[in-house]
Each structure stands twice: as structure tokens, then as C-alpha cells.
């Protein structure tokens, strides 16, 4: 009899557990006053969510906090999959905010969650790796690691996503679902996103958002476009084999250098004579190696390069045509060719394709935050981003956020040793992150996307 009673209690507890968790969540939210320390619960309904987010983002203490985080990360840059101190700092700040997280993910990555813990789920992403570049900018928080530098703004991306985490944690009682915060390693290697996906960071996620700061636009300008935005990036390495011998008697050899030379020229014809000018593509041979002496024809020659295109169809067709051209030119000159597209050092990254409905939602929010005059339709861009791997799995949108400011020296391109950012961008980026996640989770917004 006692056993039956215990079993009934156990079953009832399982059935009621979601309700109980939700009730506890709501109570804890009300105890935290919903928004910020200056707000009372009764004042909350009279202030729009956008205004609350902006007020929290531009709070002087929060802005200074984001700056200090970015500067600590900048002083200790870490390359792909080496982001140990960066990950530790992120976890420390999440602990301080009371935000739960999972770690390690993809070796050094961190995945945090804010909200109810129940569906729907929406994701925000920041990359966190540095580059093997010697910093030449003289300032108080210059890199302390020789030959390594945050020259692409990933330190700022982490600071802004932590800023969004702080905002969303204060607004968590108003979140109608769960926000997944992805702190990703190894974007520069093109491997981090793939490895994070393998560890189920997108499980149950309905949409994802990411941004990248750029000096191409003035401070605070948002620029993006629907559908194809950034190019897919692939690499190839072809070994062309012939028969070596003395250069004085070439008729006794099968010259792989000649075959490689004609292959390089023929590859350019793919773009100039086979590609629609409105369908932008790039094929660049950036490396050629063959021979060790001026009078000896080698047994083999290696060429390598990159190819890029904006649509998946064009990208895959370009890859196939590169292989066909190299093998055909090798055969014409009696050589054989073996081509490697595996990209062990430079993985293939698909095109970054923004979902049209999510893109429109992002642009509406951006206009509310930075103004109509500061939102632009960006042109397609031949650079690539491993955020594309996320967009291959779930709908989402990626945008550029301008940091250009001559007064602060934020004029140099990414991957430059003189790369500098304008830290006034932090509250803008944090606000856009938080506004997207918060609004997406509302029932009315999700039904329209």
C-alpha cells in the first residue's frame, strides 16, 4: 500500500514538474523586480521593452564593464582552440551574472542559457579567437603575447554578447522562452562553428543571430542584406605528376611545370569566359611550387589556391569545374593530377545566406535602435564567415556593425597589425543582440517570421 502511494506521488511530481519550474521561475523574476535596479515592478508596464533594453545597454556601469572585459581579452589573445583564458573569463562573468552554462564545448567553447529553460529557443553567437599577428598599436591594453593579436574584433564580439547576457538576465521574467548564448572558438580556422554544431548547440534552436564589427561603415551603422551576403570559401591543392629529367633534353621528360602553367591560365577562363558577370565568382591560384634546380625538370609540381562564390549552386559548380580543368590540362601534357579539396588547413566554408524573414525582423529592430539613417543595404562581400554553418542548419541573419572613427583610429581593416576599434560600439551591439532575442521569443513576432 505504501509503495503504491509513493508511486502515485512520483508520477504526479513528474507531471507537475514543468508547471512547478515555471511557477518558481515567475516568482524569482518578480523577486528580482523584472528590469533594472532603478525600476519598480509597477513601473515596468509603462516602459517599452526597447527602451528598457537601451537603458540597460547604455548604463554607464555596464558600458565600462564591457570595455574592461574586452581589454582583458585583448591583452591575452589566444588562437583557435587555445582560448583557455578567454573561456575562463567568460565563465567567471556568467557566474557573476547568475547565468547557467555548459563547458567545455568544442574544446574551449561556452554555451549559456537565459530564460525559462523551455521552448522556443533562439541563439546568439560570438566568436572569441585571435590571429597570429604582431600588434603595432601602442596603447595601454596592447597585446602582451608576442605574435598574437585580436585583429578582427572577436574580443569586442565577446564583450557585446556578455553585455546582452546581462541585459537579458535582468529581463528574464519577460522572456517567453530561452536564449542560447554561443561563445565559439576557432572562427578564423573555419572549424569552430562546425565543431559546436556537432556538440548539439543548435538543438531545438529555431533561429540564430550574429554580427561582426567592421571599419567599412561609420560607428553605429548597421549593414546587411537578405539571402546571399558573404561568399563561400574553398581551397584546392593540386599535385601534377609527370616524368623528371635533364632540362637540356625535355623530349625525354614529361614536364609537369608546363602542365601546371597552362592549368593556372585555364582556371582564369572559368571566370572570364564561363561565368555570368552578374554571378560573382573568384578563382585565385596563390601558390605554385615545382623543381629545385634551374636545369632539372621535376617529377611533379604543386599549385594551390582559393575559390569563392555567393550561391551554393555556383560554389559547388565552381569546385567541380576547377577539378575538371586541372585534370584536363594535365592530360593534354601527358601528366596526371591529384586534387585535394579537403581543406585540412583551410576548411571549406559555405556561403553566408541570410533568411529573408529573419533578416527583415533584424532590420526593423536595428532601425529602432540606431535609426533609419544608420541602416544600410550592404553589397555582397567576398569575405567568408563560419557563421554560415549555423545558417545551413537553422534560419538566421548576420550583419555588419560599423566602427569607423578617425578620431579613435578605427580605420584599419581586419587582420591589420594596426587594427583598432571604437569601444562606443559596445552598447549598440549588446542592445541589438538582446532586442533580437527578446522580440523573437514573443509569440506575436514568431508567428510573423
Neighbours of 91 (CB within 10 A): 17
Say if residues 357 and 395 touch (Cβ distance below 8 Å): yes
Crossing angle of helices 154-170 and 84-97, rounded to 10°: 20
Say if residues 440 and 446 touch (Cβ distance below 8 Å).
yes
Q: What is the dihedral of CA 341, 347, 350, 354, to 10 degrees?
A: -170
User: What are the residues whose beta carbons fall under 8 Å from the beta carbon of 30, sequence distance 6 or more?
Assistant: 41, 173
Contact 359, 226 (CB under 8 A): yes
284 to 260, 340, 346, 373: CA distances (angstroms): 14, 16, 14, 37
> What is the distance between the alpha carbons of residues 344 and 21, in angstroms, rounded to a whole number?
46
Summarize the annotated binding site as residue ranges. 152, 154, 188, 212, 415
Residue 242's closest CA among 233, 250, 234?
250
- Residues facing 243 on adjacent strands: 254
Task: Write the DSSP string, 79-132.
Answer: -TT--HHHHHHHHHHHHHHT-EEEEEETTTEEEEEEE-SSS-EEEEEEE---BS
Q: Count of alpha carbons within 13 Å of 259, Cβ hemisphere only?
A: 32
Instruction: Count the alpha carbons within 13 Å of 12 in the hemisphere toward its beta carbon.
Output: 6
Beta-bridge mates of residue 339: 238
What residues contact 27, with CB distance under 8 A and at least 6 apart? Answer: none
Annotated binding site for Mn(2+): 152, 154, 188, 212, 415
102/115 Cα distance (integer angstroms): 15
Amino acid at each position: 500500500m505504501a509503495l503504491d502511494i509513493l508511486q502515485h506521488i512520483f508520477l504526479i511530481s513528474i507531471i507537475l514538474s514543468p508547471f512547478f519550474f515555471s511557477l518558481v521561475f515567475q516568482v524569482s523574476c518578480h523577486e528580482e523586480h523584472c528590469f533594472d535596479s532603478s525600476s519598480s515592478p509597477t513601473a515596468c508596464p509603462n516602459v517599452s521593452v526597447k527602451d528598457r533594453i537601451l537603458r540597460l545597454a547604455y548604463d554607464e556601469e555596464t558600458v565600462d564593464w564591457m570595455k574592461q572585459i574586452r581589454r582583458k581579452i585583448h591583452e591575452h589573445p589566444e588562437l583557435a582552440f587555445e582560448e583557455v583564458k578567454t573561456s575562463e573569463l567568460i565563465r567567471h562573468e556568467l557566474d557573476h551574472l547568475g547565468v547557467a552554462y555548459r563547458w567545455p564545448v568544442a574544446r574551449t567553447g561556452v554555451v549559456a542559457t537565459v530564460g525559462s529553460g523551455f521552448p522556443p529557443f533562439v541563439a546568439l553567437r560570438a566568436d572569441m579567437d585571435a590571429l597570429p599577428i604582431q600588434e603595432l598599436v601602442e596603447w595601454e591594453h596592447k597585446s602582451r603575447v608576442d605574435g598574437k593579436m585580436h585583429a578582427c574584433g572577436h574580443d569586442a564580439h565577446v564583450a557585446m554578447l556578455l553585455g546582452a547576457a546581462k541585459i537579458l538576465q535582468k529581463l528574464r521574467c519577460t522572456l517567453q522562452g530561452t536564449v542560447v548564448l554561443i561563445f565559439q572558438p576557432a572562427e578564423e580556422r573555419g572549424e569552430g562553428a562546425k565543431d559546436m554544431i556537432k556538440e548539439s548547440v543548435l538543438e531545438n534552436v529555431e533561429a540564430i543571430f550574429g554580427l561582426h564589427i567592421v571599419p567599412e561603415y561609420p560607428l553605429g551603422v548597421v549593414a546587411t542584406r537578405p539571402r546571399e551576403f558573404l561568399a563561400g570559401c574553398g581551397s584546392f591543392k593540386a599535385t601534377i605528376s609527370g616524368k623528371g629529367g635533364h632540362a637540356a633534353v625535355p623530349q625525354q621528360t614529361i614536364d609537369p611545370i608546363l602542365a601546371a602553367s597552362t592549368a593556372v591560365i585555364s582556371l582564369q577562363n572559368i571566370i572570364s569566359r564561363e561565368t555570368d558577370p552578374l554571378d560573382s565568382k573568384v578563382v585565385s591560384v596563390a601558390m605554385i611550387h615545382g623543381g629545385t634546380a634551374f636545369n632539372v625538370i621535376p617529377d611533379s609540381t604543386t599549385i594551390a589556391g582559393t575559390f569563392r562564390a555567393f550561391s551554393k549552386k555556383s560554389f559547388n559548380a565552381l569546385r567541380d569545374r576547377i577539378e575538371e580543368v586541372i585534370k584536363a590540362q594535365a592530360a593534354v601534357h601527358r601528366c596526371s593530377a591529384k586534387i585535394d579539396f579537403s581543406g585540412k588547413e583551410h576548411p571549406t566554408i559555405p556561403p553566408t545566406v541570410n533568411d529573408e524573414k529573419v533578416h527583415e525582423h533584424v532590420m526593423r529592430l536595428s532601425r529602432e535602435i540606431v535609426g533609419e539613417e544608420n541602416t544600410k543595404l550592404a553589397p555582397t562581400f567576398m569575405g567568408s564567415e563560419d557563421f554560415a554553418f549555423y545558417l545551413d542548419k537553422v534560419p538566421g541573419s548576420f550583419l555588419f556593425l560599423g566602427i569607423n572613427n578617425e578620431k579613435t583610429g578605427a580605420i584599419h581593416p581586419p587582420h591589420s597589425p594596426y587594427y583598432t576599434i571604437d569601444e562606443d560600439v559596445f552598447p549598440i551591439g549588446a542592445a541589438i543582440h538582446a532586442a533580437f532575442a527578446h522580440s523573437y521569443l514573443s509569440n506575436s513576432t514568431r508567428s510573423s517570421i
